[in-house]
Structure 1
Amino acid sequence: MGARPVIEYYFSLISLWSYVGSRRLQSLAQKHNAQIIYKPVDLLHLFSVSGGLPVKQRSPQRQAYRFIEMQRWRSIRDIPLVLEPKHYPADPSLAHRVLLAAISELGYDSEAVHEFARRGLETVWANEEHIADPGTILRVADESGLHGSRLLNRAESDGALAEEEKALTKEVVEKHYFGAPMYVYRGEPFWGQDRLEMLDEVIESGREPILRK
C-alpha cells in the first residue's frame, strides 16, 4: 500500500472559490483517504504582491464575468451561494486563528476541524453572516463540534497563532503561488476549485508530479 495522499490547501475564509470547491475537496479527500493540510492565508496581501486585485478594484468587464461564473458554478456544484453577500469583504484573521488553534489541539484529521473550515466559508457565502464577528465565530465553532469559547480565547490572546498565520502567508508568497484556493499535491500546484477534477485524476492515476523549473 502506498503512502497516504497529502493535499496542502492554501485558502481564506473570505475566498469565494475556496467556498465553491469546499465540499468537492472534502469528498475528494474522503475518496482517496487523503489528508488535507489547512493553510489559511491573508488573501488581500497575497493579491497585493502577486498582481491580483480585490473584486471591487477589478475592471467592470471582469466583475461582470465573475458574476456569471458564480451562477454557473452554483449550479454545477449544487450549493447555496449568495452572489453579493453583505459582509464581504471582511477580515477573516480571527476565524483563521481559531482554525489554527483547533488544528493544534485536534490535528488535521479531526472531523470538527473539517467542519469548521467548511462552515467558516459557508458563513460568508451561503449564510451571509459576518466572519469577523467574534460571536458568529464562536457559534460556528460550537456548531462544528469544537470548544468554541476556549479556542476563541486562544485566538484572541495567543500571539503565536497570529504569527503562524503570517508565516503561512509568507510561505505561500515565497512559493510563488498567487491566489486561493491553491491545492498542492506532491509539490504540484492546482490553482482554483475548477482544477479539483484534475487533482482527483492525478491522485487516482499515481502519475509523477509536474513541477516548475
Structure 2
Amino acid sequence: MRQIDYYLSTINPWCYLAGDRLERIAARHGAQITYRPLDLMQLFDRTGGTRPQNRHPARIDYRNQELPRWAEHLGVPLRLDVPMTNMAPSSYAVIAAQEAGGDVGGLVQGFLRARFADGRDIAEDGVIREVLPAHGFDPALADTGLFVGAETYARNLERAVEAGVFGAPFYHVLDTGQKFWGQDRLDFLERHLATL
C-alpha cells in the first residue's frame, strides 16, 4: 500500500480548501495517509519562509484575493476575519485521534471548517470537545491525548524539516519520495499515484 505523509496546519486556509480531495484520491489508489499536524509558523522559521503577518504588502494583498477566488471555485464558504489562534490544541486532538483510529481526515476537515466556515476558535477546549464526537471520536481525547500529542507534534516538525517540507498542505509520497505542495497540486499527486 502506498504511503502518504500529509503535513498540515489546523489554522491554514489552504488546508481547509483542500477539503476531502486527498482522502478521495488515496481511496481510489489504495494509499494510506498519515496525518502530521505541525507548527506551521516554526516550519516557516526553520525553512526560510515568512510568517503571513510579516510578508510584503503585495503578497498579503494577493493572498487576500486568491483565497476567496479558490473558495468560490471550489464552492465552499470561507471566512478570513478569524483571528490568529493557537494551533497546538486541535493538532494534539488530531494526533490522539490518529492513535485511536477512525476518520482522521474527517476530523481534520471538521476543525478546519469550524475555523474557516464557522469562525470558531479551535484552540478552545469546548470547540475541540464538540468537533471530536461529531467525527466519531471520544471528546475525552482532548485530555488524554495531550502528552502523546505534544511529543508527536514536536516530532512532526523535525520530520518535516528533514523531509524537505516547507509549507502546508504538503503531501509526501514515501514510496517514491515525490513531494507536492499546495491544495492546487492534488491533481498532480493523483496522476503520480496512477503511474505506480
For normalisation by structure 1, the TM-score amounts to 0.86
Q: CA deviation at 1:162?
A: 0.7
Cα distance in 2 between the residues matched to 1:191 and 1:182: 4
Cα distance in 2 between the residues matched to 1:195 and 1:141: 29
Query: Runs in 1 of length 4+ with deviation above 6 angstroms?
Result: none
- Aligned residue for 1:209? none
Cα distance in 1 between the residues matched to 2:142 and 2:169: 25
Q: 1:162 to 1:12 in 2, by over 3 A?
A: same
- 1:12-51 alignment, distance < 5 Å: 12-51=9-48
Answer with 90-99 or 26-35: which moved more. 26-35
Query: Which 5+ residue runs of structure 1 have no aligned equivalent?
Result: 207-213
Q: Among residues 151, 166, 173, which one is paired with 1:163 in the alignment?
A: 151
Q: SS of 1:127's equivalent? A: coil
Q: CA deviation at 1:184?
A: 0.8
User: Once the two structures are superposed, what CA deviation does each residue of 1:5-64 show, in whole Å capped at 9, x if it has no partner?
Assistant: 221100110111111113221221222232111001110100111121222211110011
**Aligned residue pair count:** 194
- Aligned residue for 1:144? 135
Contact 2:5 2:171 in 1 (8 A): yes
**Counterpart residue type for residue 198 of structure 1:** F
- Aligned residue for 2:170? 182
- Aligned residue for 1:98? 93
**Counterpart residue type for residue 168 of structure 2:** A
Quote the RMSD (CA, aligned, Å).
1.4
Cα distance in 1 between the residues matched to 2:33 and 2:74: 20
Contact 2:3 2:33 in 1 (8 A): yes
Q: CA deviation at 1:127?
A: 1.2
Contact 2:21 2:186 in 1 (8 A): yes
- Aligned residue for 1:196? 186
Cα distance in 2 between the residues matched to 1:99 and 1:204: 28
Q: CA deviation at 1:196?
A: 0.4
User: Once the two structures are superposed, what CA deviation does each residue of 1:106-126 show, in whole Å capped at 9, x if it has no partner?
Assistant: 1xxx22x22111111112111
Q: CA deviation at 1:199?
A: 0.3
Larger Rg, first or second structure (1 or 2): 1
**% identical aligned pairs:** 32
Contact 1:94 1:155 in 2 (8 A): no
Q: CA deviation at 1:161?
A: 2.3
Contact 1:85 1:124 in 2 (8 A): no
